[in-house]
Structure 1
């Protein structure tokens, strides 16, 4: 045994070694340095006593055993609920190489013991247990419980390992959480999808323990906004003149008391214009007496960043999405090595981290942007024990996000902004408090009181780091002499109106997710303390998932729920399974999982209740039908196209109250907004719309029309228009249109033909040209402006929302004219890292660190390997005018072989129509 660990005792045979498995490569590196004498070998470190290797987060995921899996009909009520007797595991593809490395190490004959050095928490325990289960490892294991990554802390942890028996309760809680989420998510999603697809088609309706309560938060806010009724009120503002100058005040009622039943009431609001006008007339030109009170006030620097607070700040300051902030922070950690691990929910540092922090300050002193402030910290000795900053009890799996000892180099602009945010927060936390003198001045004119507040900055303290070391003129009050009478120069009546609650932005939604347990009862609130909905690492992906499934849309920085979101909440409330919409389920689970960790309840009891919940969700969905789902439904203003009657909404349809006309709310699995239906009934036609899904669940775009039913004259129905085959279609009348540009094949004019852009010479049996391009290519809308650029310059701008039909990944590309065909051209790849084996640098969770264009290039090139060009043709056939299917096949042609490899990878493509 290594001499550094005299108290670290494991049964060992001669020449045997201990394998230490960390959760992340960076932690494995720290452990290897701490134990010393290690040589880096491929993907692990090794010395005479230890082998140190790492996962990259979760390497395995739950699957149903083969004999219990549902091959077909998984969305049918017939096969629900789906509760397998046990679960198997399968590798996560993107991190399979790491799993293979660990498997080989665990099968080595000289590995006699294993130490779990994964993160100190439930998920870290789960990652390790899954690895041991999947590899069928037989070695005894012990637990290294680390909350600090200093060499001293690591060596001390190795000297005081926890036994496997001590960790069994935590392992049970970890497995139970994982399996419970699978059971509720799968059965909930399949049951709601089956319910919404009863009348045909495929309407994917996803639900989840975290996703759905998060959506509920946004929907309930939108409901409050829609129900809000604005009220007029008035304020009286006055301008006063004294010997030293002019100041302003606002009328207020000193006898005002808060009214819990009316939260819109304020001490400065007047609800009668007559009363407000009376004050104006009474005070105009009058003399006033002044009293004032000044009090010192301090403001402490905000705590260090955890991931959620960093995402909130970056969204508020720069408009970065939570997903983007996480990606940038991960790159700063993994690629540039200038930030500590970002996926943390802690805002404190370990108590033994003071020496490391001092070294970090010394590093920052050498950076021009931070020299002045780092010198002040160092000179004044401000880095010292402080429970607000250094507190082991406030650290869970990881400590706060701070800069590392590595100086930044070659950061992109967004990376630099985020790094600067973290560095300033890091330095600010050591600075003194900001000191103010807060003055409240009351000016009394007759019987009326006006309030003026001013704040004088006495000592900027930490705010100097943010450039707030000078007093703003607006905050300063002109002096009034004792006993001086001031003159009321102007009195203004200001008419205002109450405003509805603000919509959520990503910053405010992250805060709501973090504090979701605050409204629960004491026991559940305590269980969710510091947790909330989701984890710092998953909250961004939850929001992105809601956007992807079209439950939410972004408008500027606002997140707005769609009709699909309202329909889901209506369904869950109507079915009586509101536990899926509330944070209470998470609170209850967290409470019971904490009890399981303490050995107070058994895993079997918890899982029985989860199975019962899955049974109830499915049972309720089977018992109800669409006509019995209650809800707050709309009445349309546009009359019925058949009879002119009133059309009303129900859960499933928009239906006339006087005739048989009706239309589905979810044609092709796309939930329609009320306004979209109004517009369709008025104009009889929609623009080209996305978001539809075929019966096989594949996305497509189409136009919807309200047309006369040929079988029932004078009656109308709704139908899809997918665009017809040009061979059979009569040439449209393009005389009212302005051509978009010249045809790249024949030189004719290209026009907008509804679902596509087409050459005027592509129609009829004697067509002269076959140039056509869809308005939607791989789910990316191609605007008229972009098509005009393509036709006139041969290239569009960089388009960012393509989605691979094969892999489902989003990618960016230019559309280009390639010999009369529309093709892709990708951005040039960034230069590779200096290390020859760094082709696929990965994050701790195993996600490729390179961006979407690089992934897209790799995906397109994979079938032709080293070739620079690949021809991908998409053939589409429609069987008839009323066909409701479009089929597309991607065929790969042989690559051209040229000695000169271009920097941009090009792919020609004809669009699916």
Structure 2
């Protein structure tokens, strides 16, 4: 699910009183909620028929989830007792899956640790050291809970590689080969990675004690990503299982012309520092607002930014010029040949298409450049009658575009 879908699902669960308040970035609860969490845990284990592992009675298993300093306005998302008596099968599939994740994470947080033994084997050949690692599970702990609650969602089983017992000088060389490779660039952002990056952006520059950190809030980050996709600055690509977020030409153009100060999360850090100074009486609110007004005024005056953005955003190549063979790019008023000496252009405000009661849009321009023709339905004649016809594209002797009609059943 996308970040916005997930937020919508958990908001719906909250409105149905199946989970607690969703718009939080805290993973902890306060001391006041610890007793409630212990009782809820026992009821969830009974509800799911999970046998709790032996725990140290001297230290409550919920203790590791308590951290008042890391709880801001709201504690971590938890299932409610109302959920235990609800008809969960009646929920939409997406809400069921998100609710299962919340239940699983709640129980995993109070379960025993996942313990394993890791073996590191170091060998030496021709003065070079080579290493191999192996793992052996000692105690499944919270992974057992994860597997039981999320079995139908995870659909995967990770096998750990165990190394054989080996004493010193027992290893020999079976074969050797030389492999050439290249370093890999950083992976593209998935939505969860981007959300984490937004949350931690400029964290090192933030002063101690600020209320907000990073870019946006838990309530706005998913919406911000969705808006960037809807506005055409980002696009999702990938398969059904994993989708990455990639900038579009429009997005790249915007970043190219946008002032550096707006792009940087350092601006948020600077504002938060000054808001903290205002809170402590070290800065006047009017001084802070004057700085903001001055910055906005300067940005509004910078008309070249908008002009540059329009130029970059409209230079998308959509085909090849039928007159000279150079690329045809989209601009504000039409699709132009990049060759300055060529006169070929497809005007968006096109008189020929207007007479047909049609509009020359990007789809029509693409078809004309690719196939030299485009079939149109329900064209209008001068007498108001409708007909179907094919528009043919050719060029005048001087390179200008020329259109003609081919009617169905003959010319």
Asked whether the two chains share a fold, i.e. TM above 0.5, the reply is yes
Q: Using the alignment, how far apart are the partners of 2:332 and 2:19 within structure 1?
A: 42
Q: Give the alignment of 1:380-529 within 5 angstroms.
A: 384=60, 388-406=64-82, 407=84, 408-409=86-87, 410-467=90-147, 474-480=160-166, 482-483=167-168, 485-520=170-205, 524-526=206-208
- The structure-2 alpha-carbon separation of the partners of 1:678 and 1:566, relative to structure 1 and needing over 3 Å to count, comes to farther
| 1:44-80 per-position Cα deviation (integer Å, ceiling 9, x unaligned) | xxxxxxxxxxxxxxxxxxxxxxxxxxxxxxxxxxxxx
Q: Using the alignment, how far apart are the partners of 2:43 and 2:306 within structure 1?
A: 65
Q: Using the alignment, how far apart are the partners of 1:344 and 1:436 within structure 2?
A: 32
* Counterpart position of 2:4: 323
Note the residue ranges of structure 2 that are not aligned, 5 or more in a row.
152-156, 360-366, 390-400, 403-411
Aligned residues: 362
Q: Using the alignment, how far apart are the partners of 1:444 and 1:501 within structure 2?
A: 31
Q: Using the alignment, how far apart are the partners of 1:611 and 1:546 within structure 2?
A: 26
Q: Residue 62 of structure 2 contacts residue 110 of structure 2 at CA under 8 Å; is this kept in 1? A: no
Q: Using the alignment, how far apart are the partners of 1:472 and 1:715 within structure 2?
A: 62
- The structure-2 alpha-carbon separation of the partners of 1:684 and 1:531, relative to structure 1 and needing over 3 Å to count, comes to closer
- The structure-2 alpha-carbon separation of the partners of 1:429 and 1:452, relative to structure 1 and needing over 3 Å to count, comes to same
Shift of 1:462: 1.0
Q: Residue 705 of structure 1 contacts residue 720 of structure 1 at CA under 8 Å; is this kept in 2? A: no
Q: Using the alignment, how far apart are the partners of 1:517 and 1:728 within structure 2?
A: 51
- The structure-2 alpha-carbon separation of the partners of 1:517 and 1:528, relative to structure 1 and needing over 3 Å to count, comes to farther
Shift of 1:588: 1.4
* Counterpart position of 1:865: none
* Counterpart position of 1:716: 344
- The structure-2 alpha-carbon separation of the partners of 1:483 and 1:419, relative to structure 1 and needing over 3 Å to count, comes to same
Q: Residue 514 of structure 1 contacts residue 531 of structure 1 at CA under 8 Å; is this kept in 2? A: yes
Q: Residue 707 of structure 1 contacts residue 716 of structure 1 at CA under 8 Å; is this kept in 2? A: no
Residue 564 in structure 1 maps to residue 263 in structure 2: no
Tell me, what secondary structure is at the counterpart of 1:559?
strand
* Counterpart position of 2:314: 671
Q: Using the alignment, how far apart are the partners of 1:770 and 1:354 within structure 2?
A: 74
Greater share of residues in helix: 2
Q: Using the alignment, how far apart are the partners of 2:269 and 2:357 within structure 1?
A: 61
Q: Using the alignment, how far apart are the partners of 2:182 and 2:108 within structure 1?
A: 39
Q: Residue 705 of structure 1 contacts residue 718 of structure 1 at CA under 8 Å; is this kept in 2? A: yes
Tell me, what secondary structure is at the counterpart of 2:176?
strand
* Counterpart position of 1:726: 356
* Counterpart position of 1:593: 275
Q: Using the alignment, how far apart are the partners of 1:727 and 1:403 within structure 2?
A: 58
Q: Using the alignment, how far apart are the partners of 2:172 and 2:144 within structure 1?
A: 38
> If the length of structure 2 is used for normalisation, what is the TM-score?
0.74
Q: Using the alignment, how far apart are the partners of 1:541 and 1:679 within structure 2?
A: 41
* Counterpart position of 1:609: 291
- The structure-2 alpha-carbon separation of the partners of 1:611 and 1:726, relative to structure 1 and needing over 3 Å to count, comes to closer
Residue 545 in structure 1 maps to residue 227 in structure 2: yes
* Counterpart position of 1:45: none
Q: Residue 377 of structure 1 contacts residue 430 of structure 1 at CA under 8 Å; is this kept in 2? A: no
- The structure-2 alpha-carbon separation of the partners of 1:679 and 1:564, relative to structure 1 and needing over 3 Å to count, comes to farther
Shift of 1:502: 1.6
| 1:643-669 per-position Cα deviation (integer Å, ceiling 9, x unaligned) | xxxxxxxx47xxxxxxxxxxx836xxx
Q: Give the alignment of 1:465-864 within 5 angstroms.
A: 465-467=145-147, 474-480=160-166, 482-483=167-168, 485-520=170-205, 524-526=206-208, 531-556=213-238, 557-573=243-259, 578-619=260-301, 621=302, 651=308, 665=311, 671-673=314-316, 675-676=317-318, 682=325, 704=335, 706=337, 715-717=343-345, 719-720=347-348, 723-726=353-356, 754=374, 757-758=376-377, 762=379, 764=381, 769=386
- The structure-2 alpha-carbon separation of the partners of 1:693 and 1:342, relative to structure 1 and needing over 3 Å to count, comes to farther
Tell me, what secondary structure is at the counterpart of 2:175?
strand
| 1:575-596 per-position Cα deviation (integer Å, ceiling 9, x unaligned) | xxx2211111111111121222
Q: Using the alignment, how far apart are the partners of 1:599 and 1:770 within structure 2?
A: 75
Deviates more, 1:348-357 or 1:428-437: 348-357
Q: Residue 383 of structure 1 contacts residue 430 of structure 1 at CA under 8 Å; is this kept in 2? A: no
Q: Using the alignment, how far apart are the partners of 2:30 and 2:358 within structure 1?
A: 74
Q: Residue 503 of structure 1 contacts residue 560 of structure 1 at CA under 8 Å; is this kept in 2? A: yes
| 1:305-325 per-position Cα deviation (integer Å, ceiling 9, x unaligned) | xxxxxxxxxxxxxxx111111
Q: 2:13 aligns with which of 332, 335, 346?
A: 332
Shift of 1:539: 0.6
Shift of 1:477: 0.9
| 1:7-49 per-position Cα deviation (integer Å, ceiling 9, x unaligned) | xxxxxxxxxxxxxxxxxxxxxxxxxxxxxxxxxxxxxxxxxxx
Structure whose CA Rg is larger: 1
Q: Residue 236 of structure 2 contacts residue 244 of structure 2 at CA under 8 Å; is this kept in 1? A: yes
> If the length of structure 1 is used for normalisation, what is the TM-score?
0.36
Shift of 1:676: 4.2
Structure number with greater CO (CA < 8 Å, separation at least 6) is 1
Q: Residue 340 of structure 1 contacts residue 402 of structure 1 at CA under 8 Å; is this kept in 2? A: yes
Q: Residue 34 of structure 2 contacts residue 63 of structure 2 at CA under 8 Å; is this kept in 1? A: no
Note the residue ranges of structure 1 that are not aligned, 5 or more in a row.
1-319, 628-650, 653-663, 695-702, 730-736, 738-751, 773-880, 883-913
- The structure-2 alpha-carbon separation of the partners of 1:561 and 1:677, relative to structure 1 and needing over 3 Å to count, comes to farther
Q: Residue 28 of structure 2 contacts residue 75 of structure 2 at CA under 8 Å; is this kept in 1? A: yes
Q: Residue 517 of structure 1 contacts residue 528 of structure 1 at CA under 8 Å; is this kept in 2? A: no
Q: 2:37 aligns with which of 357, 367, 370?
A: 357
Q: Using the alignment, how far apart are the partners of 1:679 and 1:558 within structure 2?
A: 34
Tell me, what secondary structure is at the counterpart of 1:545?
helix
| 1:268-314 per-position Cα deviation (integer Å, ceiling 9, x unaligned) | xxxxxxxxxxxxxxxxxxxxxxxxxxxxxxxxxxxxxxxxxxxxxxx
- The structure-2 alpha-carbon separation of the partners of 1:434 and 1:588, relative to structure 1 and needing over 3 Å to count, comes to same
- The structure-2 alpha-carbon separation of the partners of 1:604 and 1:721, relative to structure 1 and needing over 3 Å to count, comes to closer
Please tell me the root mean square deviation across aligned C-alpha atoms, in Å: 4.0
